[in-house]
Amino acid sequence: MNAVEELKNKRIVHWFRKDQRVSDHEIFSRLVNFEHVTAFYLHEDRYKSMHSLGFPWISDKRKTFLNESILELAAKLDSLGVDFQIFKNLKDLEASKLLGADVLTYQKLDGTEERKQEKLVLELHPSNVFSFDDFTLIDKNNLPFELKHMPQTFTPFKNQIGESGRYSKTIDLPALPLSSISFELRGGENPALNRLKYYFNDSNLIATYKETRNRMIGTDYSSRLSPWLALGNVSARTVFDYIVKYESEVVSNESTYWLIFELLWRDFFQLQLHIHGDAFFQRKGIQGKEIRFSQNDKVFWKWANGETGDDLVDANIRELNATGWMSNRGRQNVASYLIHNLSIDWRWGAAYLESQLIDYDPASNYGNWMYIAGVGHDPRPSRKLNTKGQAERYDTEGTYRKLWLR
**Residue 100: per-residue pLDDT:** 86
* Domain edges within the chain: 3-132, 140-277, 282-405
**CA dist., res. 377 & res. 144, Å (int):** 20
Write the burial class of residue 147 (CB in 10 Å: 0-12 exposed, 13-18 middle, 19+ buried): exposed
pLDDT, greater one: 29 or 381:
29
CATH number for 282-405 (one of 1.10.579.10, 3.40.50.720, 1.10.510.10, 3.40.50.300): it is: 1.10.579.10
**CA dist., res. 155 & res. 170, Å (int):** 26
Amino acid, res. 359 = D
Q: What is the mean pLDDT of residues 32-41?
A: 96
DSSP state letter for 337: I
Q: Which CATH architecture has domain 140-277?
A: Alpha Horseshoe (1.25)
What string of H, E and C letters represents the secondary structure of 134-183?
CCCCECHHHCCCCHHHCCCCHHHHHHHHCCCCCECCCCCCCCCCCCCCCC
* 37, β-bridge pairs: 12
Angle 81-24-169 (CA atoms, 0-180°, nearest 5)?
150
Four-residue CA torsion sign, 159, 329, 226, 270: positive
DSSP state letter for 199: I
Amino acid, res. 237 = R
State the helix-helix crossing angle for 311-323 and 387-394, rounded to 10 degrees: 70
Residue 335 CA to chain centroid, in angstroms? 18
Query: Taking 80 as the threshold, does the pLDDT of residue 163 lie above it?
Result: no
Q: What is the mean pLDDT of the chain?
A: 94
Amino acid, res. 292 = R
Amino acid, res. 388 = K
* CB contact set of 248 (below 8 Å; sequence gap of 6+): none
- Quote the percentage of the chain above a pLDDT of 90: 87
Q: Which of the residue ranges 162-166, 172-176, 244-248, 385-389 would you say has the lowest mean pLDDT?
A: 162-166
**CA dist., res. 258 & res. 97, Å (int):** 47
**CA dist., res. 109 & res. 126, Å (int):** 18
**Cβ neighbour number for residue 141 with a 10 Å cutoff:** 7
Residue 199 CA to chain centroid, in angstroms? 19
**Residue 379: per-residue pLDDT:** 61
**CA dist., res. 27 & res. 7, Å (int):** 10
Please say whether the beta carbons of 255 and 207 come within 8 A: yes
**Cβ neighbour number for residue 187 with a 10 Å cutoff:** 26
Query: Taking 60 as the threshold, does the pLDDT of residue 1 lie above it?
Result: no
Q: What is the CATH number of domain 3-132?
A: 3.40.50.620
Same fold, 3-132 and 140-277: no
What are the start-end ranges of the H helices in 277-345?
Answer: 297-304, 311-323, 328-336
**Cβ neighbour number for residue 37 with a 10 Å cutoff:** 25
Write out pLDDT tens, residues 44-92.
999 999 999 999 999 999 999 999 999 999 999 999 999 999 999 999 9
Closest to 237 (Cα-Cα) out of 176, 170, 191, 171: 170
Please say whether the beta carbons of 287 and 376 come within 8 A: yes
Query: Taking 80 as the threshold, does the pLDDT of residue 381 lie above it?
Result: no
**Residue 322: per-residue pLDDT:** 97
Angle 175-180-181 (CA atoms, 0-180°, nearest 5)?
150
**CA dist., res. 195 & res. 212, Å (int):** 17
Give 248's pLDDT tier (boundaries 50, 70, 90).
very high
Q: What is the mean pLDDT of residues 106-134?
A: 95
Write out pLDDT tens, residues 117-127.
999 999 999 88
Angle 317-323-329 (CA atoms, 0-180°, nearest 5)?
50
Write out pLDDT tens, residues 283-318.
999 998 888 899 999 999 999 999 999 999 999 999
**CA dist., res. 51 & res. 345, Å (int):** 14
Please say whether the beta carbons of 17 and 168 come within 8 A: no
Closest to 349 (Cα-Cα) out of 296, 284, 286, 303: 303
**CA dist., res. 332 & res. 29, Å (int):** 38
Give 6's pLDDT tier (boundaries 50, 70, 90).
confident
**Residue 263: per-residue pLDDT:** 96
**Residue 164: per-residue pLDDT:** 55
Write out pLDDT tens, residues 188-232.
999 999 999 999 999 999 999 999 999 999 999 999 999 999 999
